[in-house]
Amino acid sequence: MSSNVDSLPNKKQELVAFINNAPCKPKLIALTEIKHKNKWDTELSELAIPGYNIYSNNLNINSRGIIVYVSQDLVCKQLNYNSNFSEFILLEIACKDNTKLTVGVFYRSPYSTAENDFNLFALISSLCTAKVGNSLCLGDFNWPDIDWSTWTPSSKSGSEFQFIDTLRT
């Protein structure tokens, strides 16, 4: 869902229409880059969708912003995690079999620095090491040169390779 400040109400209406017309109502909806690059004057309450709890990060600072909608019939809490990588949300969802699912939603700018990439790799690695239950990492990582059907980066060096290596460990 691309967004721009002038069209957020329309994009929300489109999302609600999609949910209402879906054969199976989604339990989790993750959106990245919800903020316009230069301005943000929308209250989180304006983005609420009936039947969903809304979780957000970075809506009041100079970043692109992340929103996650979680169905109200799921037991979910937002986790606080200290990291030098700032564009993420961590949620813990209780599953029916008494296990937990940790969901990480990330946004990495296409102009990310090597240091920021390192912080992302460290965050994902620490989540997977410390996890209780299962983990799901999703978002917008802005590495277009990865072939996801084979998990192969275009180069054996560089941040794409390090990212794939981090996910595999």
- Please report, for the domain that includes residue 24, its CATH number: 3.60.10.10
| Secondary element (H or E) of residue 31 | strand 28-32
Are 48 and 56 in contact by the 8 Å Cβ rule? The answer is no
CA–CA separation, 108 and 140 (whole Å): 6
Convert the pLDDT of each residue in 135-163 to its tens digit: 899 999 999 889 989 999 887 778 999 99
In which region does residue 57 sit, left (phi positive, over 0), alpha (psi from -120 to 50) or beta (all else)?
Answer: beta
Question: Can you give the pLDDT at residue 77?
Answer: 96
| Secondary element (H or E) of residue 89 | strand 88-94
Q: Which domain holds residue 145?
A: 5-168
Distance of CA 21 to the CA centre of its chain: 23
**Considering the entire predicted model, what is its pTM?**
0.87
Are 62 and 95 in contact by the 8 Å Cβ rule? The answer is no
Domain count, the chain: 1
Both tokens of 71, joined, read 């169905």
Convert the pLDDT of each residue in 53-78 to its tens digit: 999 986 766 677 899 999 999 999 99
Convert the pLDDT of each residue in 156-169 to its tens digit: 778 999 999 998 87
**DSSP reduced 3-state for 160:** helix
